[in-house]
Chains A and B, each alone.
Chain A
Amino acid sequence: MTRAALQALLSHWLRSPFQLAMLLAGLALATALWSGVQALNAEARAAYATAENLLGDGTSAQLESPSGRMPEGEFARLRRAGWDVSPVVEGRASLGDTRVTVLGIEPLTASSGGTSAELVTPDLTGFLAGVGFAHPRTLNEIGTSQPDLRPSQAIPIGTVLMDIAQAQTLLDMRGHITRLTLAPVQRDGLTPLNTLAPDLRLVAPGDGTDLAGLTDSFHLNLTAFGLLAFTVGLFIVHSAVGLAFEQRRTMFRTLRALGVPLRHLALLLAAELALFAILAGMAGLALGYLMAATLLPDVAATLRGLYGAPVPGTLRFDPVWALAGMGMTLAGTALAGGQALWRLWRLPVLAPAQPRAWAHAGARSLRLQGGVAVALAIIALILAQINGGLITGFALLAAALLAAALIMPLVLAGGLALGQRLARGPVAQWFWADSRQNLPRLSLALMALLLALATNIGVGTMVSSFRTTFIAWLDQRLVAEVTVTPRTPSEARALQNFLQTHADATLPMQRIDARLAAQPGQVYAMKDHATFRDNWPLLDAVPHVWDRLAAGEGVLVNEQLARRAGLRPGTATLEMPDIGVLPVLGVYSDYGNPLAQATLGLDRFTGAWPDTPVRQFALRSENPQALITALQDEFGLPGNQITDQAQAKALSLAVFERTFLITGALNVLTLSIAAIALFAALVTLSGMRLVQLAPLWALGLTTRRLAALELGRALVLAGMTLVLALPVGLVLAQILLAVINVQAFGWRLPLQFFPADWARLAFWAGLAVLAAALLPAWRLWRHGPHQLLKVFAHEK
């Protein structure tokens, strides 16, 4: 019985291979996008874990100096006092053809927790004698042969692990170390650290540069995108499964009349769905893996550019990921096919065999849908008032999008009714009336299209608003014509002397790492100069802010810090390490920086941290090219240590563009899936349409005209959807700019309008819809008479 029934059920798909293809394609695409995004996230997170595990930073507390370095004598002093500490030297250095993070450890005292210990131990003497380790990719980037560097996958990309003595030499840090790591277990009865080393700051495990925390927002973003694409994919599945159910309604009735129990039939249908889910899931996983592998280099570049997070550009295959992706596919299929199974359960044996419109939405269900939409909109409004975290922001986004999608069929129905009322002539009237009647069958696909379009507009507006703001901000921040990075403190001193006579102004860049308002952050020094007074992008400030800053009366803070800690110039104060509480004088925008930042007048800064090395000089010059030439001649500085303004801007913009490359790619993919959903809906609908179109053909409308009307209908519906998507997209953009960005990055951006982008999107969306509607229309035109005649022939 099972076999015969299954054969009967499956025969439907043999007769409708296209429907089957749509079902499988929808599932596969949904799986691909979701699992692809998950693969990207997993890879990045694994990379953060690699970085953390290297020194066991996740489990060890650190001792740091505000100036970013301390004399190496501190190490011996604490060891002699009984503290189990190990020194670390860390810094950036040029190695071969690239710049790398040099990480120097002392293996004899290093804690055994990190992966570095496993790496170093087998040949400790070799390591002490100068053998280092780096990721194979880093070795490639370094280029020239480095006999003392060995490849290891355990090292984050862009980092070179070596003995502390070698690292000190390479970083020109002889006699100094960057920080001390504390072994997790210390002896009892030792002199407390704040007595022994009051100048050093104790940073709890995992509390420092917590990459996972900083990059959370980025990954949440990707996940949200993946989920959206998955949802759009499920729309396709839902419509394909629903249609197949309607078309097989007679068969179900017959099978049940022939004695197949309902439970059995439902099980068979569920098994059929599961089989499709597994097949499509596997294809989707393969696609998702491909997609992730293609996008990973850009994601990696983004994460490195934005957060300095070392993510490799190559993807590994993780079976857990594959299983999770398959689970998601099965769950999604159950969700999308559940309605059909439920209806089968309620189908009476002797129900009329005449197929009803499967998605026929009566007035009552439309009202219900409208009610849910209004409820969601209210929830969204409430969420918008709550100053919650990122999750609240995404919940707001989801509620707003879903409300818009649910309300859309009602709005479209109203628009079509209006069109019908305004229509003159019988064909025009029929066109509107018929569009209205077919709306329920297309509304799911149109909702998917609305979501995709709104997302496109929203994200596009966000990115463009960001770009416009960012470029203007770069002009303010990058005023200096030339920046030069000294390789060593001695070179910094020599440069300073030289520049006094050669540059119009020399603005030293000094900073220390510090915790500001309980967040990881940095304190910068700012020289009192017209460059800053005239250009610095202040968002808010007290009167005479520059004079007061120069006098050391307070600090400027970046927008991120101001928002997170609720600091307003004039009323707020900030606790500064080693200085005490200072009033906040102003807030400046600081896009692209994940850390909290405060800026002090130069004198106040050097008073508190006199030995801080100069990391960079910003130079003003009438003739930057001559200055660059002079610097190269005098100091033999390599190209990567002198940056002119144009280069700096190009570099920043490049980082920016790469950041949103992945967003763009996902945008295109989501839109493509929506187009496929529409295509699937239109093609499946075209079969049912024949019965509706045949009378008109008989009444004297040519098939060509009918085909043109079909095409026009798709465009009108898509056009109306696009018009609706515009305000929805702008709301979305506003949520992204004013809620999500603030929560994720700490800055708020002004919403700007980009009608040219909308026109471009309208063009592409129109093209996509046209492509989706073309095949059914073409088939109607070419094979119309033959097909339509069948309608009459079937009458007998």
Chain B
Amino acid sequence: MKPCLAAFATALLLTAAPAQAQGFAGLGTTAEDFSVPERGRELTFPQDHGAHPDFRIEWWYLTATLTGDDGQDYGAQWTLFRSALQPGEAAGFASPQVWMGHAGLTTADSHFAVETFGRGGTGQAGVTPDPFSAFIDDWHMTSRAGPDSDPYDRLHIHATGHDFSYDLTAQAQGPLVLHGDQGYSVKSQGGQASYYYSQPFYDITGTLHLPDGPVSVSGHGWLDREWSSQPLADDQAGWDWFSLGFDDGHRMMGFQLRGAQVFTSGTWIAPDGTATPLPPDALEFTPLGSARVAGRDVPVRWRIDWPEGGVSITTEPLNPHAWMDLSVSYWEGPLRFSGSHTGRGYLEMTGY
């Protein structure tokens, strides 16, 4: 931990002037000279797997629900955030691109979190589109896909902290999924939006290095890609985001943005990758129980209802104390769900 960077939390995803942080991590400020997402722009790959320095923020976000050869459940998170002081890129330390890596590892009774910072231009951190690699320090998410396939089809992921590390290989079992309107994902009634797509069909194998020793794991993974310049409305203070893998092969992404009004959205994904965007307010999220985590009450058990799809499930976290106690802090951890359907997933909660 670098205490000096604690205050960087507000500055990170960041904003030039206003001192009063608006929304979570300052995400709710205006776009100024940055590009903004436009409805109808077609996403092209592999180009859009790379960085978009003209947009203010962007992330490469992998979560994995895992089971060890010891029979225990595990969760792993690997994230690279990009945040631009100014649009565009420059060589060396003059680069306005700031990068932040987060890695998390959750067991039933422990949660590990580590972060690292860097800036673009020097080679310390960044994303190269071809061959694809997202990296910061000695962490990386690098494509191992064949020449004719999508770079995201096979990835190697590594992160390390002082007390843990992991090496994972992710093999995609289905296509990329575009959220919203062909990847244009609306985030509020006011029209704030981002580009958003996922690869939700990973089979994962690998090794977790825990203080007690290595554990071989396998399971499923979900990669989120999102970039924007102003994804939140002024009054939106945080979100609750779910990525769910149904035992029957379906996937579902759903979130609610908490503001003056609650804004919900999601995507229903068939086993073949066919995506059905869920209209606003189609999903209902109901907190069922909270845990005292890092000095605050965080709702760690939820009921999720999608009446039109006949889905009504209850989620149970693997570890209610999966708090990412970093410069930007939030809750992120694996869960199991039951009810109308069963399966495993990941929950991220910010703004508590």
List the interface of chain A (C-beta within 8 A of B): 72-73, 75-77, 79-82, 87, 106-112, 117-118, 120-125, 128-129, 163-165, 168-169, 174-175, 185, 187
Contact = CB atoms under 8 A, between A and B. Distances in A.
A125 B117 CA distance: 14
Give the interface residue-count category, chain B. Answer: 20 to 34
A302 B86 CA distance: 45
Nearest to B117: A108
B93 A165 contact: yes
Nearest to B99: A108
Contacts of A169: 94
Contacts of A72: 92-93, 122
B92 A175 contact: yes
Given A109-B118, A112-B2, A121 B124 contact: no
Given A73-B123, A165-B92, A168-B94, 9 more contacts: A72-B93, A80-B138, A106-B93, A112-B2, A121-B7, A122-B7, A125-B14, A125-B85, A128-B85
Nearest to A125: B11
Interface string B91-125: 01111101000000000000000000111001110
B4 A112 contact: yes
A198 to B, nearest CB: 20
Contacts of B118: 79, 108-109
Given A106-B119, A112-B3, A187-B160, A121 B8 contact: yes
A80 B135 contact: yes
B137 interface: yes
Contact of A107 (B3, B4, B85, B123): B4
Contacts of A163: 93
B16 A124 contact: no
Contacts of B145: none
Contacts of B3: 112
B98 A108 contact: yes
A189 to B, nearest CB: 9
A73 B138 contact: no
A275 B320 CA distance: 69
Contacts of B117: 108-109
11 contacts: A72-B92, A77-B123, A80-B135, A82-B160, A106-B93, A112-B2, A112-B5, A124-B8, A125-B14, A129-B85, A168-B92
Nearest to A188: B162
A76 B124 contact: yes
Interface in B1-42: 2-8, 11, 14-16
A124 B162 contact: no
A121 B123 contact: no
Contacts, number: 83
Interface in B117-158: 117-119, 122-124, 135, 137-138
The 10 closest A-B pairs by CB, nearest first: A76-B123, A117-B4, A165-B93, A108-B117, A82-B138, A112-B4, A165-B94, A76-B124, A79-B124, A164-B93
B77 to A, nearest CB: 19
A323 to B, nearest CB: 34
Interface string B169-187: 0000000000000000000
A1 B15 CA distance: 79
Contact of B15 (A81, A125, A175, A185): A125
A118 B5 CA distance: 10
Contacts of A121: 4-8
A75 B124 contact: yes
A182 to B, nearest CB: 14
Nearest to A122: B7
Nearest to A119: B4
A78 to B, nearest CB: 9
A76 B122 CA distance: 6
A120 B3 CA distance: 12
Nearest to B14: A125
A79 B137 contact: yes
B22 to A, nearest CB: 15
Contacts of B138: 79-82
B96 to A, nearest CB: 8
A87 B123 CA distance: 13
A554 B11 CA distance: 56
Contacts of A128: 85, 96, 98, 119
A74 to B, nearest CB: 10
Contacts of B135: 80
Contact of A124 (B7, B123, B160): B7
A174 B7 contact: no
Contacts of B123: 73, 76-77, 80
Nearest to A124: B11
Q: Which of A72, A87, A118 is the most central at the interface, judged by chain B CB atoms within 10 Å of its CB?
A: A72
B114 to A, nearest CB: 10
Contacts of A107: 4
Contacts of B7: 121-122, 124
A696 B25 CA distance: 99
Nearest to B137: A79
Contacts of A109: 117-118, 124
Contacts of A175: 92
Contacts of B162: 185, 187
Contacts of B11: 123-125
A120 B2 CA distance: 13
Q: Which of B4, B11, B162 is the most central at the interface, judged by chain A CB atoms within 10 Å of its CB?
A: B4
A776 to B, nearest CB: 69
Contacts of A185: 162
Nearest to A128: B85
A72 B2 CA distance: 23
Q: Which of A108, A125, A185 is the most central at the interface, judged by chain B CB atoms within 10 Å of its CB?
A: A108
A172 to B, nearest CB: 13
A73 B122 contact: yes
Given A107-B4, A120-B4, A168-B92, A75 B85 contact: no
Nearest to B94: A165
A405 B2 CA distance: 61
Nearest to A87: B93
A41 B196 CA distance: 63
Q: Which of B2, B15, B94 is the most central at the interface, judged by chain A CB atoms within 10 Å of its CB?
A: B2
A122 B15 CA distance: 14
A661 to B, nearest CB: 41
A82 B137 contact: yes
A123 B10 CA distance: 10
B119 A108 contact: yes
B141 to A, nearest CB: 14
B105 to A, nearest CB: 15
A581 B224 CA distance: 59
Nearest to B86: A129
A175 to B, nearest CB: 6
A124 B98 CA distance: 12
A633 to B, nearest CB: 34
A108 B5 contact: yes
Contacts of A82: 137-138, 160
A125 B14 CA distance: 8
Nearest to B15: A125
A185 B14 CA distance: 29
Contacts of A124: 5, 7-8, 11
